[in-house]
A and B are shown apart, each in its own frame.
Chain A
Amino acid sequence: MNQFLTTESIVIVMILVTTLVAVLARRRRLPYTVTLVVIGLLIAIPTSLELEATPDLILAIFVPPLVFEAAFHLDLKQLRENLTPILLLAVPGVLLTTLLVGGMTAMGAGMAFGTAVVFGALIAATDPVAVVSLFRALGVPHKLALTAEGESLFNDGTAIVVFRIALVAALTGVFEPLTGLTDFLRISLGGIGVGLVLGWITAQLVARLEDRLTVTSLTTILAFGSYLVAEYFHVSGVLAVVVAGLLCGNVGMAGAAPSTKIMIFNLWEYLAFLSNSLVFLLIGLSVDLTLLWDNLGAIVVAVVAVVGSRAIVVYGFSWLAQFWGKASQIPSSWRHILFWGGLRGAISLALALSLPLAMPDRRELQAMTFGVVLFTLLAQGTTIQFLLERLGLTERSPQGIARERRLGRLFATQAGLRRLEQMQREGMLPDEMWTALREGYRQDQKQIIEEMKQLFREHAELEGEMLFEARREALKAERGALWDALRRNILSDPVYEKLSTDIDHRLEALDLIYGAMHERPSMEEEA
Chain B
Amino acid sequence: MGPIVCATRGGEAGRRTQERAIALTKERGAELIFLCVFDPSFAGALNGELAAAVEKEQQWLGRALLGTAQARAKKEGVKAGGEIRNGPVLETIEAFLEQVDASALVIGEPRTKSPMAAFRPSKVHHFAERVRQDTGVDVIVASLEE
Is A bound to B?
Answer: yes
Interface residues of B in 43-72 (CB under 8 A from A): 43, 46, 49-50, 52-54, 56-58, 60-61, 64-65, 68
Distance (Å) between the CB of A473 and the closest chain B CB? 13
Q: What are the interface flags for A491-524 relative to B under an 8 Å C-beta threshold, 1 for contact and 0 otherwise? A: 0000000000110011011101100111111111
Cα A463 to Cα B9 with chains together (Å): 11
Q: B17 near A524 (CB under 8 angstroms)?
A: yes
Residues of A within 8 A of B115 (CB): 397
User: Within 8 Å of chain B (Cβ to Cβ): is A471?
Assistant: yes
User: Within 8 Å of chain A (Cβ to Cβ): is B10?
Assistant: yes
| Interchain CB contact (< 8 A) of A463 among B68, B89, B109 | B68
Distance (Å) between the CB of A27 and the closest chain B CB? 34
User: Within 8 Å of chain A (Cβ to Cβ): is B102?
Assistant: no
Q: Say whether chain A's binding surface is mostly helix, strand, loop, or mixed.
A: helix
Residues of A within 8 A of B36 (CB): 523
Interface residues of B in 108-146 (CB under 8 A from A): 108-110, 114-119, 123-124, 127-128, 142
Residues of B within 8 A of A397 (CB): 115-116
| Interchain CB contact (< 8 A) of A461 among B12, B49, B53, B128 | B12
Residues of A within 8 A of B93 (CB): 527
User: Within 8 Å of chain A (Cβ to Cβ): is B14?
Assistant: yes
User: Within 8 Å of chain B (Cβ to Cβ): is A464?
Assistant: yes
Residues of B within 8 A of A509 (CB): 50, 53-54, 56-58
Residues of B within 8 A of A524 (CB): 7-9, 11-14, 17, 107-110, 142
Q: A523 near B7 (CB under 8 angstroms)?
A: yes
Residues of A within 8 A of B118 (CB): 519-521, 525
Q: A522 near B116 (CB under 8 angstroms)?
A: yes
Interface size counted on chain A using CB atoms at 8 A: 32
User: Within 8 Å of chain A (Cβ to Cβ): is B79?
Assistant: no
Cα A505 to Cα B123 with chains together (Å): 35
Residues of A within 8 A of B57 (CB): 471, 506, 509-510, 513
A-B contact pairs, 15 of them (CB 8 A): A463-B14, A464-B10, A467-B65, A509-B54, A513-B54, A513-B57, A520-B118, A521-B110, A521-B116, A522-B13, A523-B7, A523-B37, A523-B107, A524-B9, A524-B11
Q: Given A471-B64, A522-B11, A525-B116, 11 other A-B contacts at CB below 8 A?
A: A460-B11, A464-B11, A505-B52, A512-B43, A513-B61, A521-B118, A522-B14, A525-B12, A525-B108, A525-B109, A525-B117
Residues of A within 8 A of B (CB): 397, 456-457, 459-461, 463-464, 467-468, 471, 501-502, 505-506, 508-510, 512-513, 516-527
